[in-house]
Structure 1
């Protein structure tokens, strides 16, 4: 006889999320590789993907969480490498802090520049985004070319963003670009080792930071 499926009697969105996070906490028992706000972010990434390998793959530079919270609190502009990543970050999470999310992938000037350079739009969009006033948070979930372009521009003297969330997914230069990111000590970053990543994970990282910032404000109030 097949095992009886047990359906939990939960239908409210908030209750479903709370139950999901409780299940994740139970399935990743103490001692965990992360704690405090770092675990809150990693737990959100597991919640997004149901991938319990992520605790062994997520990497934070020193001060990355604090830098992200400060940038959001200062009304940062979040730059995404794809429209998918932009859509993964709901405005309701960012509007209380005066933050906006922008993606330059479909800007006519970016499309033309990418065609002329025989490069990806995601890479050329980095150049347009870097002209914006700071603070900036770069959210790269799909395009290793965008992350490599950003690193090259920083090496060329362009001021680094407040935070780089570098999580491109895939097989061509995805793991390699993130390995390069992990060597950097001159700016804060959050990444995922290896081939895994994607727009949902990159966007979820911003969402987790926004939730932490909101909760901190509620505690002060």
Structure 2
């Protein structure tokens, strides 16, 4: 068996070196580059360098929100699991997900809609200017956009990276039209792991 790197820090360091090398002449402003490279590190998919869109000021506003102790609301338990909760807690914030709450399940069944929609409504009611992280459910992103357009939500950041074939690309195109800080991936690609990677990249930028 050939020698291989065993130290986790060295593995990550070398991974990012390889990503930078393979990106070649494709470069980004420093903070944006950290987000894009961590997504590529998570997925091993260099297409994210072309489809990741970050609007002006989004990262700085996200950092401020984290430092102010804002909570993060996710559309899935998987995204919640992937976010560095210990690091977030250092600034007073928590990661929350309401999809499995009994009241959410009951309301979704009564209205014949997804639990992701109801969970997003509950998150907005609890904290309209929180950080919203959507990596799986386009219905959650559509609902959040509706809440923003109605003046009920004023997100500090929206991470909109739902994955899939029904509504995922369309929901992200709608997010592009909204005047809020956002980070999104155009098209079908995304996922809870991508959503968590984006938040972690921002957390790791804060000293």
TM-score of the two chains, using structure 1 as the length reference:
0.90
Alignment RMSD: 1.3
1:106 aligns with 2:126: no
Instruction: Name which of 132, 135, 148 aligns with 1:141.
Output: 135
Unpaired runs of 5+ residues, structure 1, are: 215-221
Q: Measure the CA separation in 1 of the matches of 2:184 and 2:3.
A: 34
Q: Measure the CA separation in 2 of the matches of 1:8 and 1:122.
A: 46
Instruction: Name which of 4, 8, 15 aligns with 1:9.
Output: 4
Instruction: Name which of 187, 196, 199 aligns with 1:203.
Output: 196
Shift in Å, 1:96 = 1.5
Q: Measure the CA separation in 1 of the matches of 2:134 and 2:86.
A: 21
- Partner residue, 2:168: 174
Max Rg structure: 1
- Contact (CA 8 Å) 1:74, 1:135: kept in 2 or not? no
Deviation per CA, 1:44-74: give whole Å up to 9, x if none.
0000000011110000111111111111111
Shift in Å, 1:97 = 1.3
Count the aligned residue pairs. 207
Pick which of 133-142 and 56-65 moved more: 133-142
Instruction: Name which of 89, 95, 103 aligns with 2:89.
Output: 95
Shift in Å, 1:30 = 2.8
Q: Measure the CA separation in 1 of the matches of 2:3 and 2:76.
A: 36
TM-score of the two chains, using structure 2 as the length reference:
0.96
Report the secondary structure of 1:110's partner residue: helix
Unpaired runs of 5+ residues, structure 2, are: none
Report the secondary structure of 2:159's partner residue: strand
Q: Measure the CA separation in 2 of the matches of 1:91 and 1:10.
A: 27
Which 4+ stretches in 1 moved above 3 angstroms?
Answer: none
